[in-house]
Amino acid sequence: MLENRIDQTFAELKAQGKTAFVAYISAGDPDLARSLEVAHALVRAGADIIELGVPFSDPLADGIVNQMAAQRALEAGTTTPGVLDLIRRFRESDAKTPLVLFTYLNPIYTYGFEKFHTDAVKAGADGILNLDLPPDEEAENEELRNAVGLKHIRLIAPTTPDARISTIASQGEGFIYYVCQEGVTGARTELATSIDTQVAKIQEASATPVVVGFGISTPEQAATVAACSDGVVVGSAIVKIVAANGDSAELADKVYDFVKPLVDATKSV
């Protein structure tokens, strides 16, 4: 029996011959209560895994859409403990959907690296993606190694050298996130042409599932990526829907309506 929800989800999808759909939202945007509604709407739309962005004041890897989402969340009073409470409330009615924390090291280190892992697991989180914590640094600092329970998701970029791809991929847990575009997060009108080649290279180096994100915003793009990977990640495009409808009572329905065709396209391959 696989204990971690991420492992369980990918095992089930593999048995079904399906590709995972991973949805990103910024926790606390427009506020924590509405974030909970949106998270449940994502599950209803068919999302297999949800990434929750932990709001941070200096999100350097994020484009303007996700930067503004983090700012709205902070202005709404969202804190790191508040994000963990959001996870607890989500788990009250959903014990299955994997939750991955998408974060920078600063808020986690301030909270206490080991304590954060312990509290996040108790709350119901399954993985963590520290955007600015290289595997090398984690390996060299004992305080960053004494943390268990959360799968540590690794990033690989188009500019990552082959030798380093092998190193990072061999340490992959849960899934490996292939950033298919150079630069910051944000929807793109066209996808990179080398995604299938790069994904194949990563898959040769590791049995850990490979998901692809950064820039995917249409069903057509989702289907293209699904055909050559283990998972499709959509983030900024969903965050835009939240930004446009944050004051609306129909926010969750708007998110559902946008995400459902993306999920259907991902599953159609």
Residue corresponding to tokens 């759909």? 21
How far is 75 from 212, CA to CA, in rounded Å?
A: 30
The token pair at 219 is: 């069903």
How far is 26 from 197, CA to CA, in rounded Å?
A: 30
Of 83, 151, 87, 143, the C-alpha closest to 113 is 143
Active-site residues, by number, are: 51, 62
Of 149, 240, 229, the C-alpha closest to 192 is 229
The DSSP symbol for 268 reads T
CA distances 8 to 48, 51, 97, 148, Å, are: 11, 16, 10, 18
Identity at 126, one-letter amino acid code? D
How far is 213 from 28, CA to CA, in rounded Å?
A: 22
Q: Which residues of 157-191 are buried (b: 16+ CB within 10 A; e: fewer)?
A: beebeeeebbebbeebbbbbbbbbbeebbbbbeeb
How are strands ordered across the β-sheet holding 231-234? 151-152, 127-130, 99-103, 49-53, 20-26, 231-234, 210-213, 176-179, 154-156
Contact status, residue 231 vs residue 175, Cβ threshold 8 Å? yes
